[in-house]
Amino acid sequence: MRLPSFSHLLVVFVLVTGGAALAQRRQLHEFQGEEMTQEEREAARSRPKYNINAYGKDIQIKEEPIPWKAIGLACIAFLVTAPFAWRIYKGTTKEIAEANVFGVSSARVAEGDDEQA
C-alpha cells in the first residue's frame, strides 16, 4: 500500500467516525424548572454540597468470626503432644548430663578405674 493512498484512507476513516459520533449525540432539552424562592436559595447555600460525614454510615464493616474450631484443634494437638515432648526433653537432658565433655562425670570415672587395673 502506498503512502498517499494510506493517508486518503485515514482521512476518510476520521471523517466517517466523526460523523457517526456527531449523529449519536443527543440534543438536550431546555430546562424549564420552577424558580426558587430566596429562602430556598439560602437553605441550599447553607447546606453542604457534599456530605462527607454521612459516608461512613452507609458502609457496613464485615467482621470475620473467631476460628474457634481451629483454636480448639491446636489446643488438643498441644495437649496430646506435650507429654511426649516432655519425656523426650528429659531423656535428652539426661543423655547430655551423662556425656558431659567439659567436666568429670560418673561414666568417665568408671572408665578411668578400669584402665588403671
Q: What distance in Å separates the CA atoms of residue 37 and residue 59, rounded to the nearest whole number?
A: 36
| Residue type (1 letter), 2 | R
Pick from 77, 58, 61: which is nearest to 69 by CA?
A: 77
Reported as a single tens digit per residue, the pLDDT across 82-99 is: 999 999 999 999 998 888
pTM above 0.85, yes or no: no
Are 95 and 104 spatial neighbours (Cβ–Cβ below 8 Å)? no
**Backbone φ, ψ for residue 11 (5° rounding):** -65, -45
pLDDT confidence tier of residue 17, bands split at 50, 70 and 90? confident
pLDDT for the residue 66 = 92
